[in-house]
Amino acid sequence: MRFHTSERAHPEHSGADRPTPPALRRRLPDVTEVLALIGDRAPRRSAVARRLERAQTVWDLREQAKRRTPRAPFDYADGAAEAEISLARARKAYRDLEFVPHVLRDVTEADTSVSLFGRTSSMPLGLAPTGFTRMMHTEGEYAGSAAAADAGIPFCLSTMGTASIEDVARHAPDGDNWFQLYLWKDREASEGLVRRAWEAGYRRLLVTVDTAVPGARLRDTRNGFSIPPQLKASTVADIALHPAWWLDFLTREPLSFASLSRTSGTVADLVGRMFDPSLSLEDLRWIKEMWPGTLIVKGVQSLDDAVRVCEAGADGLVLSSHGGRQLDRAPVPLELLPGVRRELGAEASIGIDTGVMDGADVVAAVAAGADYALVGRAYMYGLMAGGQAGVARMLEIMREQMQRTMRLIGVNSIGELGPEHVVLGRES
């Protein structure tokens, strides 16, 4: 089909001769039209809900968290070891990767659900174990476990969590609750923790193996971060800047721990007094014999160790540099992932953490070989920004980002993701 143009010359008009279209003529506004434009956006929700809704990324939640939380607890969640190189490199690995879109596919559906250890999770995502969580926000692990249960994903309670094993289980009885174990010098006490977790209904035990000694978290040292926070001269100014946080903290039940009687001191003091630097494969085999459920080893940072922990009886592992909070200049989990997957095969369960701040990061990790990702800081940012509602908003953001990324690279479900969808190590 060909289009023909007229050879007639257009009549010449000056701008003043052009008539004004009706759509451009000014008129008084119609009140009903104004109300229709406002619609459901009228401020019916709480101020917290409206503020959280404005957050479009986890980084937005981080900014809200930073404004609302005193410096010492915020830096405890936000910081990493020494020069924080491990954390920076992990995040850079996600920034530098490149997706490979596959177009002309029907992507009407974007199913993020997966099966993790025999249970359906709505996303390949879980909330990582975090210590001293009610220091960040008094709802702490109660908020995390409830938000995770509502979202249909796993929640992991830390040995150093600030809610008891039993209380979290009672608070989120329908949740996929995991328990994270630090092996103590007191083996009898460790065995007691494992027994309590099983009796309370936990069926996944996550043993962390990268804390022979505490990492040098310099922000905490410089801030004088302690459990509980010490009221001193500098605290007065902090109270003035964060009155809501301090009022909430001082009017709630004092901190208690998943596994400790009430105690005090710096984080390094607590870790140094309790954790066992002699942890070995024999201890892992001992835990395997004792634990009737699923055993996962977190903190694997080499291909050789991935093989060793599986041979020792682990049902799964998490490639992790502890969020960059232990060894600085540690290996980047995302970069280790493809080699570990090739070595262990398709049937092995491999999780990943450190540096995950976006739903697209989760999609990339799964494409590169992970079964799921754990998020700690993203969870903490949501918690500090708005308690349980903030954690729920973080998970909502992550889900939306996953679904959008899946559609844009041409897949309908998590199970369709593979190495053909991502290139790691591409410079931005």
Catalytic residues: 322
Other CB atoms within 10 A of residue 351 CB: 26
Distance, CA of 8 to CA of 158 (rounded, Å): 81
Distant-in-sequence, close-in-space partners of 175: CB < 8 Å, separation ≥ 6: 145, 146, 148, 149, 154, 155
Distant-in-sequence, close-in-space partners of 152: CB < 8 Å, separation ≥ 6: 120, 121, 122, 123
Beta bridge partners of 205: 179, 295
